[in-house]
Amino acid sequence: MRKLVPGLPPVGSILALTGPMVLVGLPAFAAEGGLPQLRFADYPAQIVWLVISFVILYALLKLAVLPRLTGTIESRAARIAGDLEAATQAKAQAQAAVAGYEKALAEARDKANTLAAQQRAAVQAEIDSRKAEIEARIAAETKAAEARINATKDAAMAEVRGIAAAAARDIAAKVADLEIGAAAADQAVEHLLGQAS
């Protein structure tokens, strides 16, 4: 057996020591006047007061204590149930709000995407049309410039021919003393130019 106090004999040996003393002593004590519990003359007084005190305790508990006690416990249970209910509702509301927010977010994103696409398409179209316009203008100006160059060239060429023909007639008149008609000189220049080109 485990020792209760170090240095003292365990409970077992205390019992072994004192047990016989109890067995010897108890009948001697009891012999003095019998068990008080079995003196039936004392019974009526005890029973009467037991009934009185028990009934008073019962009435007090039933009428004063228990209504308040059950009221407290039930109101607490109701409060807890109500709070749980409110929490569940709040949670559902929060979830609905989150779902609504996410839906709104998705819608906004879609709208932004389509807007961006439209804008991009519009800008692209503008760019394309401006480009086409500029290209067309450039082409027209190029063409006009070319025509002007050609005209100037032709004029210059015609002048050069005339000068060449006049020079040829002068040279022929001075060197060979030949009178060449203007038409023949032009023809000769034309012929030589044709050979050169």
Partner 1 sequence: MAAGAEGHSPLHQFEITRLVPMDIAGVDVSFTNAALWMVISVVAVSALMMIATARGALVPGRVQSVAELAYEFVTGMLRDICGTQGLKYFPFVFTIFLFVLTANLLGLLPYSFTVTSHLAVTATMALVIIVAVTLLGLAKNGFGFFHLFLPSGVPLWLAPLLIVIEVISYLTRPVSLSVRLFANMMAGHTTLKVFGGFVVALGFLGIAPLVFVVALTGLEFLVAFLQAYIFTILTCIYLNDALHPHH
Side-chain half-sphere CA neighbours of 9 within 13 A: 8
Compute the least distance from the CB of residue 17 to partner 1, in Å. 7
Nearer to partner 1 by Cβ, of 46 and 197: the residue is 46
Site for partner 1 in 56-115 (CB under 8 A): 56-58, 60-62, 64-66, 68-73, 75-76, 79
Give strand ranges (E) for the chain: none
Instruction: Name the segment binding partner 1 (CB under 8 A); options: 25-33, 108-116, 136-144, 157-165.
Output: 25-33
Binding residue for partner 1, selected from 1, 6, 36, 195, defined by CB under 8 A: 36
Nearer to partner 1 by Cβ, of 1 and 183: the residue is 1
Instruction: Name the segment binding partner 1 (CB under 8 A); options: 48-56, 108-116, 164-172, 180-188.
Output: 48-56
Instruction: Compute the radius of gyration of the chain from its Cα atoms.
Output: 68
Site for partner 1 in 106-135 (CB under 8 A): none
Q: What's the DSSP call for residue 4?
A: S
Residues 6+ apart with CB under 8 A from 11: 1, 4
Cα–Cα distance for residue pair 66/14, rounded to 1 Å:
47
Tokens 């010897």 sit at which residue? 24
Cα–Cα distance for residue pair 145/158, rounded to 1 Å:
20
Cα–Cα distance for residue pair 140/135, rounded to 1 Å:
9
Contact residues toward partner 1 (CB under 8 A) are 4-5, 8-9, 11, 14-15, 17-18, 21-22, 25-26, 29-30, 32, 35-39, 41-51, 53-54, 56-58, 60-62, 64-66, 68-73, 75-76, 79
